[in-house]
Amino acid sequence: MGQSDSHLPPAAFVDPDVFQTERREIFAREWLAVGRDDGLASAGDYLSVGLGGWPAFLIRDEVGELRAFRNICRHQQLPVLENGRGHCETMRCRYHGWTYDFAGRLVHAPPAVCPPDLETTEYRLDAINSARAGPLVFLNLQPQAPRLDTALADIATTLPDDGHGHAADTVHSLAANWKAVVGALLDGPGSWSRDFTPRPPRGDTAIIHQDGDRAWAWHWPTLVLFRSPEASLVQIVMPRTFTKTEIHQVLHLAADLPASRTQYWRSLLDTRSELANADAVERQQEIRATARGGGTDAILSSRISPPFATRWSAAMAGRVNT
């Protein structure tokens, strides 16, 4: 890598060209968690997200099937649905009125912009792969994606299950590169998951720490999980741009949890610094922006967990100057 196995070049955190390469080589290839399945209960319920800059959405159709598409209208490549959760009766692009059913078929367009044959397959929305693991839904942009259960085999027992019910969701925004946010979660997990007995990394795609009936795990590239008898916490790192990142958090709690413990867990979700050491991460991002020439500041600010550094370097090999 040119520095050490636990460092990335400072440019990796601040160069927009690196982010564009990551979009192609990482976010367009990997299974990425996007949110809860049970938040899409009725026909027309949708979740629109950005997968490292790739617009996509999930929607529940009339027979209860969850479908996934690129969020790109086939008319002029503009978004069909607004970002976030919502509900619609049909999927209508607000720019020029092209309207799609829940199967992605074009069913209506205003006369001035209507193609000669609505049923032509070239006007259908691009479908993408989706799969469920526990209460979470994952998307993969690859036409021939590997099976999700195979990809998540190392961390399957850390996912929330039916023993915990959904309790809360939060989103925190950070002015930092996504790798810095993942690195902060790996190096300084919340107080509830410190002092674990580490287990060896599973290759370079997973880290699992376990202490009795508590477990904490990371799965390449953007998923962090914590599980205990009381609670399950999912942290999904969502890259927005090369210097803007969101952490989407999903909390599940045991049904018989005392009120004081329920309040404790809910309070953690609202504590930005507790969950990702956010202020320090943003300060380091500023250091990286001025330390690209090298030196001690550059080395310190670009340190990251060795398994993550190894996996990132493999994905980007020959595509960036590392």
Instruction: Summarize pLDDT for 232-256 with one digit per residue, the tens.
Output: 999 999 999 999 999 999 999 999 9
Per-residue pLDDT, 162: 79
Per-residue pLDDT, 157: 84
Per-residue pLDDT, 1: 39
Distance, in Å, from the CA atom of 238 to the CA atom of 247, rounded to the nearest integer, reads 6
Per-residue pLDDT, 46: 97
Per-residue pLDDT, 5: 52
Q: pLDDT, tens digit, for every residue of 301-321?
A: 567 888 888 889 999 987 766
- Residue intervals in the chain for CATH 2.102.10.10: 32-140
The angle that helices 278-290 and 178-187 make with each other, rounded to 10 degrees, is 130
pTM: 0.89
Residue ranges in the chain modelled with pLDDT below 70 = 1-5, 188-204, 271-276, 291-302, 320-322
Per-residue pLDDT, 294: 53
Per-residue pLDDT, 188: 57
The fold for domain 11-28+157-315 equals Naphthalene 1,2-dioxygenase Alpha Subunit; Chain A, domain 1 (3.90.380)
Per-residue pLDDT, 289: 78
- Is the CATH number 2.30.42.10 carried by domain 32-140? no
Four-CA torsion 154, 160, 163, 164, nearest 10 degrees? 160
Four-CA torsion 100, 134, 155, 306, nearest 10 degrees? 40
- Residue intervals in the chain for CATH 3.90.380.10: 11-28+157-315
Per-residue pLDDT, 166: 92
Distance, in Å, from the CA atom of 127 to the CA atom of 68, rounded to the nearest integer, reads 6
Q: Is 74 exposed, middle or buried (0-12, 13-18, 19+ CB in 10 A)?
A: buried
